Structures are given as structure tokens and as C-alpha cells.
Amino acid sequence: MNVAMSNQSTLSPLLLVEDTPSLQMLYRTILRKAGYNTICASNGQQALAKFSEAMPSVVLLDLMLPDSDGMVVMREMLALQPNTRIIVITANGSINAAVEATRAGAHDFLVKPLGDIRLISAVANAHAESRRDLPADIEGNEHTADAIDSTFLGQSEVMQQLYQKISAVATSMAPVFVLGESGTGKELCARAVHLKSARSKNRFVTFNCSAIPHELQEAELFGQAQRSNAPASGIKPGTMIKADAGSLFLENLHDMTPTVQAKLLHFLQHGTVAPLGSGDQVRVDVRIICAATRDPAEDVRAGKLREDLYYRLFVIPIHVPPLRARGEDVNVLARHLLVQIAQEEGKTFTALAPETSIIFRNAPWRGNLRELVNVLRLAVVLHDGPVVTPDMLPPELSAHGKSGKSAISDSMPTGATPADVLSGMTMAQIEELVITSAIRRNAGSVPKAARELDIAPSTIYRKRDTWASTDE
């Protein structure tokens, strides 16, 4: 499963306009394998005819066509349907044309040779964007499975594995525990679990224990009996009741008071909550999804989290990978965010310079997505577009374009060896890390990763099955 492309069959077809038959065949196959219904055209006239007929929301358009200028074709398509996401395809040496196309309304551009990951990412992002245009009454509900935040999308192996896990756990009622560094998108992950579940039409409510004073936590989470002169209902509903039939996202459990932890445990055992000051038990149907930046077992050892509550909540762990482990996703996300931020700031930025992409790929991104957003906003606010060049980046970040060091060596303390970075991990975890990294380095190819590691591809497939079943 791929969250980025879930329910592709319900999407309008994608129009691929490419005049070279072998390239058309290649792109169409890659897109079909990714689940996209693709219609093809080999020239401008065909493209416009098929566009008028199918009205696709996403078009992949080669700018140089045998019978017409791709720019003219693009303008005609946008005149017919202004919110069409057009991704222009160009070859090396035609970058200026691509930038001009972006200014004229193209959503994105791809430079030949097209990698399959980049191709699918661009199409997935374009589809995600186009679905945002759909009004709620067409979508049925704005919180459907496809309404996943596009900053949570990615084509890297680690993100594909994450999507598979989200899909697998979504149908269960079992509590989910999302783990990940700050800024990795744990809430987006939790929201994805909710949106993929049968509860998606109901509420997703968040409760951050660290943001609510201890003395208010119980009333906020479980509700409170009103004073005697209050309305007849007598209960001010808490977050738990507001989330009834939906999902409750709990953050920073280590900051939850012992009293509230005991009441939460009661809910997990009996399915009822007692508002503060009321003797009544109210039955609620809520799925709990927790998140933390560190292993909750540490909080148990530190006496900040009840052990029995830990075992009730830590049923299905999901690890959200840091940005530095997501490979080329960082540049896909950066381009997507850049356009958004530029629009907000009234600037013309549309692209990253190739050197900037290298820096982004190598940077450790300790602040993850938040840091990426900050870096882009700084560049946009202080400079003029359309391209983000390395001199627009903070110096400490620019250095990552020159060293060629990997993210793992960047994050190592002085004097540490690579093996020290693995400290605290089990052999099984190290094996999983090494294999998934090799797959990522080889652009998702298991046979190539197997060659690199000198093991049989079947060994990797077997191990992946084991990880998936263990995770579930």
C-alpha cells in the first residue's frame, strides 16, 4: 500500500504526453505499476483532444512536441481547466524553458533522465494537491483517506514501509504508539492511521499532556460535572467524550499526572470515563494513538509512567523515520514547501538549484521537517527567486554540500566510531537498518541492495516479511 497513492483507481486518469514511443512506454509502465490509470498522447493535437475528453487533474507534458510547442498546449489546457496540475518534462539544457513553464502555471517540472521515484513522487504530490481543490461535498468528507498531508508523503523505502504499516494497523482497534524525533510528523502519522480507519468520518482529537497544567488535565480529558446552577445536562464534556467514535491523539504521556494515568487505565480496561466531580460512568468508544520522541519504557523506569498503562498503550509501535533517512524525499518535500512558502510571502521561488538539492540530501536535519520549513522560509524572505541557491542557505547547512559526508557520520560525536552510533540497538534492529539503508541507496531495488550486501534477494524479501509480521 502506498498512502500517497491510495485509492488511485478513484482518481481521474493521468494524461501522459510524450512523443518518443520508448519513453512513453517506460513512463506509462512505471505509472501503471504505481497504480495510476494513464492515458497517452504523442503530439500536441492528440494531447488536447484527450485532455478535453478526459479532463484529467494531472498531466505529464513533454515541452518539445513534434507538431506544437508544449507551452502553447499547456496554456490551452489551463484555459480549459485552470486547476489542472501540469508537470512539464524537459531534457538537460532546457531548464530555462522549464522555469518559464513554471511561471506560466506549470505545477512542477521533471528533467530527463527521469528516475522512477522522482516521477512517481511528482505525480503523487500533484494528485495530493489537486484533491485539495475538491470541495467537501464532492469528496464526501474532507477527512478521507486521501486527505493526508502532503508533507507526510514520500517515495523512499522507509516511508513506503511506514505506509504499509499504517495501512495494516488502521483497521485494528489496538492502541498505536508513534515514536520519532521531534519534527518528523508524528501527528501526521497518527492522523493517517485515523484517516485510513473506519473511524475516519469521526473526530481526530489531540491532547498534549505537556501543554495542559497538571491541575486541569483531569477535567480537560474526562470532563467535569457542572455546578448545581448549571444547565440540566450537568456535564462539561472532556476531550475523551469529544473524541467518541473517533481517535484521541495523546502526546507526552510522561507529563500526565498519576491520577489521570489511573483514570486512563480504567478507560482502557472498562471503556468508560468518569467526569471530574461526577459519580457517573460515561461509556465512550475511542481509539488511543500516543506519540513520544523517546522510548516510553524509559519513562516507566524513571517512574513517570505507570507500567500497567505502558503495557496497555504500547501495543503497536510505529517508528516515523527522521528526514535524513528519507533519501530523495527531502528534495521532493522541499520543492513542494518552497512553492507554498513563496506564495505566502509573495515571492517567485519555484525551484532548488542542483547544488542546493545535494546539500539538502546530505544535511543531518536534526530539526526534521520543522528545520526544513525554517530554512526555506529564511531563503524566501531574504532573497528573490526563482531558484534557491546555496548562498541563500545558513552557512552550517551549506557545508553539507562540500563534505559529502553521510548523515550518520555528521551526527556522530567526535571520536565516535560508526559502530558507536548503533549503541543500544539489538542485532535484529541493526540488520533491519543496514538492509533498509542499502535498499534506499539503491533507489528501492532489492536485487541491487542484495548485490551490495552480498546476500540473496530472497533473504531480504524474507526478512521484510518477518519485520512486517513482527510490527503487526
Partner 1 sequence: MTSEVLDHETLAALLEAGGIEIAAALAEQLTNDFTRIHDSADAQISRLDLGEKPDFKAIHMIAHEMKGLALTIGAHKLADVSLRAEVLARDKDGEALASHLPEFTALCDRVRDALEQSIESLIT
Among 7, 10, 12, 20, binds partner 1 (CB under 8 A): 20
Sign (positive or negative) of CA dihedral 354, 116, 127, 168: negative
- Residue closer to partner 1 (CB basis): 97 or 369: 97
- Is residue 187 within 8 Å of residue 369, measured between CB atoms? no
- Residue 75 or 448: the one with the smaller Cβ distance to partner 1 is 448
Q: Which CB atom, from 151 or from 445, has the smaller least distance to partner 1?
A: 445
Overall size of the chain counted in residues: 472
Nearer to partner 1, 82 or 93 (CB): 93
Burial of 294: CB neighbours in 10 Å, binned 0-12, 13-18, 19+: exposed
Rounded CA separation 198/245 (Å)? 10
In the bound state with partner 1, the residue whose beta carbon lies nearer, of 111 and 422, is 111
Interface residue with partner 1 among 7, 10, 12, 25 (CB under 8 A) is 25
- Please pick, from the candidates 29, 141, 182, 343, the single residue that binds partner 1 as defined by CB under 8 A: 29
Binding of residue 23 to partner 1 (CB under 8 A): yes
The nearer residue to partner 1, 154 or 296, going by C-beta atoms, is 154
Sites for partner 1 among residues 47-86 (CB under 8 A): 62, 64, 66
Which cell goes with 166?
499504517
CB of 457 to partner 1, least distance (A): 12
Structural contact between residues 157 and 436, judged by C-beta atoms closer than 8 angstroms: yes
Q: Give least dist CB 93 to partner 1, A.
A: 5
Complex with partner 1: residue 373 or 446, whichever CB lies closer: 446
Strand, coil or helix: what is 287? strand
Q: How many residues bind partner 1 (CB under 8 A)?
A: 24
Look-up of cell digits 519513453: 23
**Gap between the terminal Cα atoms of the chain:** 15
Minimum gap (Å) between residue 350 Cβ and partner 1: 22
321-380 binders of partner 1 (CB under 8 A): none
Q: Which is nearer to partner 1, 92 or 233 (CB)?
A: 92
Angle at 439 between CA 399 and CA 22, to 5 degrees: 100
Which residues between 110 and 129 bind partner 1 (CB under 8 A)?
112-114, 116
Q: Contacting partner 1 (CB under 8 A), which of 30, 147, 289, 337?
A: 30
**How far, in Å, CA of 405 to CA of 293, rounded?**
26
Neighbouring-strand partners of residue 205: 248
CB of 1 to partner 1, least distance (A): 19
Stretch that binds partner 1, among 29-37, 273-281, 380-388, 417-425 (CB under 8 A): 29-37
Could you tell me if 21 and 62 are in contact, meaning their C-beta atoms sit under 8 angstroms apart? no
DSSP string, 54-85: H--SEEEEESB-SSSBHHHHHHHHHHH-TT-E
Return the ∠ at Cα 340 (arms to 335 and 346), rounded to 5°. 120
Distance separating alpha carbons of residues 32 and 9, to the nearest angstrom: 11
Contact region with partner 1 (CB under 8 A), list: 9-17, 80-88, 90-98, 122-130 = 90-98
Helix (H, G, I), strand (E, B) or coil at 407: helix
Q: Which is nearer to partner 1, 61 or 241 (CB)?
A: 61
Sites for partner 1 among residues 412-471 (CB under 8 A): 443, 445, 447-448
Site residues (vs partner 1, CB under 8 A): 19-23, 25-26, 29-30, 33, 62, 64, 66, 91-93, 112-114, 116, 443, 445, 447-448
